[in-house]
Amino acid sequence: MGGLDLTPVKTRPVVIVSDTDLHGVSLGAALYKAVEPMGEENIAVVSHFDPKGPATTARGDLPALLRQLAGNVTEQHTVYFADVPLKIGAEQETVTALAELAKKARVVYIDHHIEVLKHFAGKQIPRVDFRIYADAFSTYLPALMSVVIAGRDADARHIFDLAVLGLVADVDLAALPVAQQVAAALGFEVPTLEQIRQNYHVVAAIDAMVKSPQKPNAETDAALVGNMASVVAYLAKKPLSEVASEALQKFPTPEPKEVARDAEIVGDAVAVYKKLAPLGQGAKYAALLEAALDVPIVVVAAPVPRVQEYVVVMAFANAFLGSKVTAEVSKLLSEAKEPIVKELKERKLTKDEWIRPTPGFSVPVDASKVEEALRLVAERLASLYAQKQREKIAAQVAREELTVLVADEKLAASVARIVEAAVNAAAQKVLEALKERR
């Protein structure tokens, strides 16, 4: 049987299974740090990405990995899962495989994915110790607390830094207040949102390093199984400041404000990057732009690997650390994509071919006409955004006026709803009229 060889796990009672994104590997590293005093010769790290075979991520065959693991563990083993979500579309298979594994060994399952909770809820899986948290930061608490209780201050600092890295990597803004509370209790300093924005390129560089097939060198006696396991050990062994400078050397990533210098704001809501982002780095440049500009929508173009004739133009809702309403903006983008693509087609800037959806949309455009396409997408989105703002303000004003005039609150509310509907309908007519005129 080719693929992953899990026999090194057999003789090592502590097994850490981590997801392969930055949150997963850094959480794996935090657990590694916590169990290190048990002796590295007793630790195995399993972290593997394979879209077609056994993998420690839902983007591969997770149930197969769990079954294989069950064949290599005993009563003596404790298996820690770090941020490994259930495989969508294979939930029951994953639960069954996990239950089989738990018959053989003790399992501690640390995660923060809601779907995990949903599928495990009400299912008694003996010996699986579920630690499901509401946010990315909190998943580090078991590791953090175990070293704090043991009085290992330097390790606590290290794990805390990994936890902040994990929350930024997972774009989990809700976790920031939790991090602040924990920081206050432990006497650590937690970066502000502003500092995180300014230093976002560091996170982007570490993320690139983690995802690249180049393995950072980690000196350890732990068994490292899979193509990402050495990254876990590396993050556990090196202070984060060293990891950051090495990542920036290997994957030079411009600072957000540097990227923003080549951007233009269209209307007051859309930032458009006027240059081409480097090959395959459109999403990363969009995030860098968002970090610098705090606009609700960014539009970026980037070439795609193995395709010469097309460049992808991408529009993103501020899925990063933005402070402007994301749900509203993603709705706007999903409504906008059809008419925009239609217009791009009419102007012969694109063929009807879709590339995977993003938190927004992406469309391939003729490589020789990128500038024109970028401008068109940015302008249409800016005017749609402005239109939505006007509708919102109109509805707001109508509601407030009525609350003053109509004393009865319930009556005011129902009249307000009628007025709001009327305003929306009128706005819709204006929009349609505008469309026809084009």
Summarize as ranges the residues that interact with Mn ion (CB under 5 A). Answer: 23, 83, 170
Distances (CA, A) of 24 to 229, 344, 368: 11, 39, 40
257 near 283, Cβ under 8 Å? no
Query: CB count, 10 Å around CB of 7?
Result: 10
| Minimum separation from the CB atom of position 188 to Mn ion (A) | 21
Taking the least distance from each CB to Mn ion, the nearer of 12 and 23 is 23
Q: For residue 73, which amino acid is it?
A: V
In angstroms, give the least distance from the CB of 131 to Mn ion.
13
- How far apart are CB 216 and Mn ion at their closest, in Å? 20
Closer Cβ to Mn ion, 23 or 87, answer by number: 23
Q: Quick one: 232 or 299, whose CB is closer to Mn ion? A: 232
Q: Give the nearest distance from C-beta 266 to Mn ion in angstroms.
A: 33
Q: Could you tell me the smallest distance in angstroms from the CB atom of residue 317 to Mn ion?
A: 20
CB of 161: closest distance to Mn ion in angstroms?
17
Sequence-distant (≥ 6) Cβ neighbours of residue 260 within 8 angstroms: 271, 288, 289, 292, 293
CB of 170 to Mn ion, least distance (A): 5
259-263, Cβ contacts within 8 angstroms, sequence gap of 24 or more: 259/285, 259/288, 259/289, 259/292, 260/288, 260/289, 260/292, 260/293, 263/289, 263/293
CA gap 82, 23 in Å, rounded:
9
Taking the complex as a whole, the smallest distance from the CB of residue 229 to Mn ion amounts, in Å, to: 18
Distance, C-alpha 40 to centroid of its chain: 31
Q: Smallest gap, in angstroms, from Cβ of residue 136 to Mn ion?
A: 5
Q: Is 127 left (phi over 0), alpha (psi -120 to 50) or beta?
A: left
Of residues 50 and 170, the one with the C-beta less far from Mn ion: 170
Token duo for residue 266: 């269209």
Judged by beta carbon, residue 21 or residue 155, the one nearer Mn ion is 21
- Closest-approach residue to Mn ion (CB): 23
Cα 235 from Cα 192, distance rounded (Å) = 23
| 83 or 155: CB nearest Mn ion | 83
The most distant pair of C-alpha atoms in the chain lies apart, rounded to whole Å, by 77
Q: Which of 83, 207 has the CB closer to Mn ion?
A: 83
Q: In sequence order, what are the residues at sequence separation of 6 or more whose Cβ sits closer than 8 angstroms to the Cβ of residue 176?
A: 137, 167, 190, 193
Helical ranges in 251-369 per DSSP H: 256-260, 282-293, 326-346
Helix residue ranges, H only, 365-408: 370-405
Which residue, 57 or 362, has its beta carbon nearer to Mn ion?
Answer: 57
What tokens appear for 252 in the block? 């030079």
Closer by beta carbon to Mn ion, 23 or else 380: 23
